[in-house]
Structure 1
């Protein structure tokens, strides 16, 4: 099985640039969050400092006897200060997390919207080559991973950064030699982090890609379930899903192994630092001739408590970096999609162009000049499914495309609708083009929302206009069956529509959208004989007064059009009116005779 061509992934510099650009207008909130984190970290150090003072007070009281005459602060003041500092640190911490979460969720919402927008604009063949699972994985798993990191890790990183800086300053005030221990030991953490950053990014990128492969295999099997069961391919598809799932597990196990090695190094660095602080404190307290050192016991106690205070945040931040690496890989995959541009959007290869992408000044004319198309644009010309095709459709003209299956009719429709870019040649079509295929999708919305999905201005669409469109396409019987009229929910979980009703709904959407060009790609093929007549009338209403390209599955539809183009193997072999082609006795005449006999 050929591996899917994955969607692009942004590099680190581009990912950072996008993240910084997304913070534009929100950097004030980021600064507020940092200030709150710094204040909370400062209050966190009050308790260790007070405990050190208590130790000194107890030592002085012991030296002076029971009365001693020594002055020391009452215990209730210390207790009140500890409570106040703890409550203040907690409040500031909560406020900092809330501000950061609000900021990051807004940022994530913006990224998610851009991801969906880029995905909807992405050429269909690019999605097909990469596999829909890759795109869905980025829109779900990767977004969730980034959401967790932005809302939890970033506030924790900010708080830990200020905790370390303030602790270092506090220990320097107590004794510069104690602060020197941290400065000397920090390279151990840096060495551990460097090792991790060399190992983790590629591993997490591979893990996220494995998620995409698994989603692709699972979705392709589920979507083609009837075919899988009909051809007894369950074992083969199960094996593919199992293999891709094992790849996910393999990368996950490797990630857990690296995490374990990483945390072992972190714990060893902390153990060495704690041992050094205790040893230096012991020496400094007892370095005098009478055993009274240059540093008080309370100061050493404060230093040790300071150090123990940063152990939790420091270990936590090193663990959060692991989450951050996974999130960075996910963010790079998201930015890779948002940065994607459809091939040919800046001119394309070999002069390929689509004037409809740059505007046609309201002209409803369709023009194709020497257009060729291949689903593998980088392949040889032999891979083309359309060959040097030229075609003109005048404004208001109805053109039918007929031919055997695989002749290229639906490909022409997809090019005109902008679903695919042309490989070579020039194509010009109105920007406001609507394609109606035989697979009419019903959204899980109300009937009103389903009808207005293609409207250029939702505020201008009134219920009166919707009812008029329903009446013109003869869909009034559908509305009459709905319990809540235009407000009836449709789709999964709502009111079920038959295939014919769904096609009728799609044709009614055309009137609401009011496009210049309508493309009907066998839009009534699934109707069945009982509904054929009413859907033909609906398609007539949808194309009336507009330029139309009709891919007909019944030749009676083609005969009603102004001109007919007969396609074979990606080329137009005949073109003309119904009467002209019948009189010519060519390929269309043969199709017409065969169809007339079969009726």
Structure 2
């Protein structure tokens, strides 16, 4: 009985990233082969020469046997000489086969990695925002690792095995056509065993991969939220969840191992039947005078040689079953429609407006309920409210990351959800508490925002966010290597780099989601004052947890339970003695 199929979509670690269908996987493999068709054809030709020279031995030995049984001259020296020449040629071409196969595999693997990266960064921003951490990590680590072996060895070796087996069968048929009947004896056993195995293997390997992703997700979330788990005494529940995920994963590991333990004995039985059939049929045909002893000798040796390519095909085809699942998970992003939007749609003006917006992350459960607000150009708006009220969600809708379920979010009368993502980013930028320092120089990290920026502009951007002092103290200035393997960057400095990128990108509308959260209050206040010079004249929507940020805003929107409960300036809202006034009194003790 099969283990219960693991469905990641039904777990708390569900992901929005799909797994590629078999048609998508086959289409991508064909695309890879087309890109490298010259290298692939060369590999097949070189392998064909290597196989043909390997067949010289059985044919020479068969001819020698015929000479001995027929009483003719035995030219042993000539036979040995030809065999040595064939062996040398075979060795040279086998070396070329391995070299060219490895090179082809590495090139296809590099293409796969690049395609996955390019396609992933081109996805709609909301898709990656909602993707599960464990699933993303397992795709770019475990699935790539599994595919690395398949791309480097399985694809070239499978091609080699198919050509090898086809030429050996052709040689057997040409040498002694009646001996080809022996293949019909072994073939049913091999086909039945393979059909039984390959009907079960793909689903089992998919479930095994999904189970591993769930294990990775559960462990990553527990580690990331370790303090919360400890504070709320959730350790036992998290351990139980991890043990459940591990037990599901290992159950599928055992099942796939059992499948292989059935397949390989079936292969061995078919090999024995093939050789036995050649000897039995061949011996009978020799007695009847249909074939000679030399033909039987050559046929038996060729049949024996078939073991290796057939085993090679099945071994690497089995490896490709695992790789197909990983490849499907990687090329699954190709099934997500690109965020092309309406290329003709462009904003006419800079007013940001939300009209009766409803939005939820799960079907039937809204986080925002009928939100309506208008942000005139150049206005600084602060979104305040308790945790979980929907401030960050509203900020992401205003930044064009998500599209509303119902209602409209428009910039200059153009709906953000219908505009191409690249066009949205030119007008609106989001900076949140998540910051990234990429491996490379400080200059490279800044040029991500604007590739044509000069060094003077880079220093001005760093200075505008109070980062020039520590940046100039680096050993090589802008050329200093930072990030993993380079100079360690403090969280506050990493956040300043992110804000400097914002300055360089120069959008007219900014959404700041706790953009200064990693700085201490004094440094954050100082940075915000410095940013005020940069932000002057721009539209700014700031999700504020520190109410001094709200105090400086032109308009304050109080978000409660997914609705805007109050809207106005600081003094007016304090005088109204409502939700904002209570928050302000609580902030000031």
Confirm or deny a common fold (TM above 0.5): yes
Q: Which residue of 1 aligns with 2:514?
A: 522
User: Quick one: distance in 1 between partners of 2:529 and 2:472?
Assistant: 19
User: Quick one: distance in 2 between partners of 1:128 and 1:232?
Assistant: 28
**Counterparts in 2 of 1:183-582, with a 5 A limit?**
183-287=184-288, 293-341=289-337, 360-361=346-347, 363-376=349-362, 378-379=363-364, 383-429=365-411, 430-432=424-426, 433-455=428-450, 458=451, 460-582=452-574
C-alpha change, 1:365 and 1:98, in structure 2 (3 Å) is: farther
Q: How many residues align?
A: 566
C-alpha change, 1:203 and 1:547, in structure 2 (3 Å) is: same
Q: Which residue of 2 aligns with 1:23?
A: 33
Unaligned runs of 5+ in 2: 1-9, 412-423
SS in 2 for 1:286: helix
* Residues 388-425 of structure 1, C-alpha deviations (whole Å, 9 max, x = no match): 11222233322222223333211111222333332222
C-alpha change, 1:273 and 1:438, in structure 2 (3 Å) is: closer
SS in 2 for 1:24: helix
Q: Judge which range, 322-331 or 160-169, deviates more.
A: 160-169
**Counterparts in 2 of 1:126-145, with a 5 A limit?**
131-145=132-146
| Pairwise CA RMSD | 2.8
C-alpha change, 1:512 and 1:579, in structure 2 (3 Å) is: same
8 Å CA contact 2:101–2:157 kept in 1: the answer is: no
8 Å CA contact 1:118–1:340 kept in 2: the answer is: no
8 Å CA contact 1:401–1:566 kept in 2: the answer is: yes
8 Å CA contact 1:507–1:538 kept in 2: the answer is: no
User: Quick one: distance in 1 between partners of 2:267 and 2:168?
Assistant: 18
* Residues 241-291 of structure 1, C-alpha deviations (whole Å, 9 max, x = no match): 23322322221222121112111111111111211111122223334xxxx
User: Quick one: distance in 2 between partners of 1:138 and 1:39?
Assistant: 39
Deviation at 1:215, TM superposition (A): 1.0
8 Å CA contact 1:473–1:541 kept in 2: the answer is: no
C-alpha change, 1:587 and 1:203, in structure 2 (3 Å) is: closer
Q: Which residue of 1 aligns with 2:414?
A: none
8 Å CA contact 2:185–2:273 kept in 1: the answer is: no
Q: Judge which range, 192-201 or 361-370, deviates more.
A: 361-370
Deviation at 1:478, TM superposition (A): 1.7
Q: Which residue of 2 aligns with 1:5?
A: 14
* Residues 478-519 of structure 1, C-alpha deviations (whole Å, 9 max, x = no match): 224323322233345543444433333322221122222211
8 Å CA contact 1:522–1:552 kept in 2: the answer is: yes
* Residues 27-71 of structure 1, C-alpha deviations (whole Å, 9 max, x = no match): 2332222222222222221111112222233444xx5xxxxxx43
C-alpha change, 1:184 and 1:492, in structure 2 (3 Å) is: closer
SS in 2 for 1:483: coil
SS in 1 for 2:372: strand
Q: Judge which range, 548-557 or 115-124, deviates more.
A: 115-124
User: Quick one: distance in 2 between partners of 1:155 and 1:22?
Assistant: 13
Deviation at 1:329, TM superposition (A): 1.9
Q: Which residue of 2 aligns with 1:351?
A: none
User: Quick one: distance in 2 between partners of 1:139 and 1:594?
Assistant: 45
Q: Judge which range, 262-271 or 95-104, deviates more.
A: 95-104
Deviation at 1:374, TM superposition (A): 0.8
C-alpha change, 1:169 and 1:527, in structure 2 (3 Å) is: closer
Q: Which residue of 1 aligns with 2:65?
A: 55
Alignment TM-score, normalising by the size of structure 1: 0.86
C-alpha change, 1:469 and 1:147, in structure 2 (3 Å) is: same
* Residues 145-196 of structure 1, C-alpha deviations (whole Å, 9 max, x = no match): 2232233222222222223332223223332211222244323322222112
8 Å CA contact 1:4–1:130 kept in 2: the answer is: no
Deviation at 1:361, TM superposition (A): 4.5
8 Å CA contact 1:373–1:424 kept in 2: the answer is: yes
C-alpha change, 1:176 and 1:261, in structure 2 (3 Å) is: same
C-alpha change, 1:247 and 1:398, in structure 2 (3 Å) is: same
User: Quick one: distance in 1 between partners of 2:282 and 2:118?
Assistant: 60
**Counterparts in 2 of 1:75-154, with a 5 A limit?**
75=77, 77-120=78-121, 131-154=132-155
Deviation at 1:525, TM superposition (A): 3.2
User: Quick one: distance in 2 between partners of 1:594 and 1:240?
Assistant: 38
8 Å CA contact 1:204–1:329 kept in 2: the answer is: yes
SS in 2 for 1:23: helix
Deviation at 1:212, TM superposition (A): 0.9
SS in 2 for 1:369: strand
8 Å CA contact 1:438–1:525 kept in 2: the answer is: yes
Q: Which residue of 2 aligns with 1:290?
A: none
C-alpha change, 1:94 and 1:369, in structure 2 (3 Å) is: farther
SS in 2 for 1:431: helix
User: Quick one: distance in 1 between partners of 2:245 and 2:407?
Assistant: 40
Q: Which residue of 2 aligns with 1:350?
A: none
Max radius of gyration: which structure?
1
Deviation at 1:558, TM superposition (A): 2.5
Unaligned runs of 5+ in 1: 64-69, 288-292, 348-354
